[in-house]
Amino acid sequence: MTMKRDVFITEVALRDGSHVVSHQFTVDQVVQVAKALDEAGVPYIEISHGDGLAGSSLQYGFSHTNELELIEAAISVCNQAKISVLLLPGIGTMNDLKEAANLGAKMARIATHVTEADVSAQHIGLAKKLGMETVGFLMMAHSAPVEKLVEQAKLMESYGADVVYVVDSAGALLPHEVRERISALKNALQIEVGFHGHNNLSLAMANTLVAIEEGATRIDGSVRCMGAGAGNTQTEVLVAVLDRLGIQTGIDLYKIMDLAEEIVAPILPAPQEITRDSLILGYAGVYSSFLLHSQKAAKKFGIDSRDILIELGKRKVVGGQEDMIVDVAKELVKKAATVNN
């Protein structure tokens, strides 16, 4: 029997949440979480390094376990959920996508900076050829005008994407800005529209609800808020809220609550909350996955991590420029020394 769903939720704790544990997920952890999500009725579960397929590296952080092993393990315990993978062209390759598809991944989300959709053409085309459900993922959506977002989304649609997402990577969008963006895409595209939020300004839930009001049918959530920065829209809370609104997700509320409390909470190094650093991410409009890298640099150079993040925001850095964090930290130390002398 096919479950009726008004909104399709993709659970990202095993991908976006990888940032929280410095990419140290074990096979056992992934199996436990994926099995419970599957039993709760979650339709899509995303599994990759936090920075997508092949993200395990010195620049982004090495994984504890090869992500292909994690993907294969999750697929082996899921009866109804489809496994999704994230790929950032330039980090992941066409071959990485083929390997994931061969293991049984059913959805590919091809992520680019909001102004760089053109680099996704080959990967979207390959994913479609491999028979995968294909999603265009426009990151840092706050950093471009609505007209540019629409232009880039139309490119992804033309390449064959089944869905295009507005991705609030920095958790910087305000509700009226989400409304403008989702509404514009709904009017311009013939395909489904999705939304991925971060909670750095405590607006993930509000922004998600606005996105749904404007017609977004694909929504990302993270159990126990397990995601970069202050985390994502909290899946179990979202399911409860949508149930109250009469919007069907097909997810069992008690089961998703139980797995959040009993399986995911113990994995978290600390409860997800809006700290001063994650708040600055949203305020300055900085990529959420830069948080831990900035904290490490601040500790190493003896400066305030907020100063690093504010400077990164001024420079409008994007995903893939993590190497600039150390450069900025060094410059701030040098500047401080000059002032003091």
Q: Which residues are catalytic?
A: 19
Long-range contacts of 148-151 (CB under 8 A, 24+ apart): 148/114, 148/115, 149/114, 149/181, 149/184, 149/185, 150/184, 150/185, 150/188
224 labelled as ligand-binding?
no
The SS3 call for residue 83 is: strand
Element (H, E) at 220: strand 218-221
Q: Is 5 annotated as a binding residue?
A: no
Is residue 315 a known part of a binding site?
no
Query: Was 244 annotated as part of a binding site?
Result: no
Rounded CA separation 102/288 (Å): 31
74 and 110 Cβ atoms separated by less than 8 Å: no
| Alpha-carbon distances, residue 238 vs 134, 190, 222, 234 (angstroms) | 24, 26, 10, 6
Angle at which helices 67-77 and 27-40 cross, to 10°: 40
Tokens of 311: 């400077």
Closest to 40 in 3D by CA, of 211, 243, 196, 257: 257
Beta carbons within 8 Å of 254's beta carbon, 6+ residues apart: none
Ligand-binding annotation for 254, yes or no, is: no
| 293 is annotated as contributing to ligand binding | no
Q: What's the sign of the alpha-carbon dihedral 264, 139, 96, 125? A: positive
Amino acid at 311: E
Residues of the binding site for Mn(2+)? 16, 196, 198
Residues of the binding site for substrate? 15-16, 169, 196, 287
Residues of the binding site? 15-16, 169, 196, 198, 287
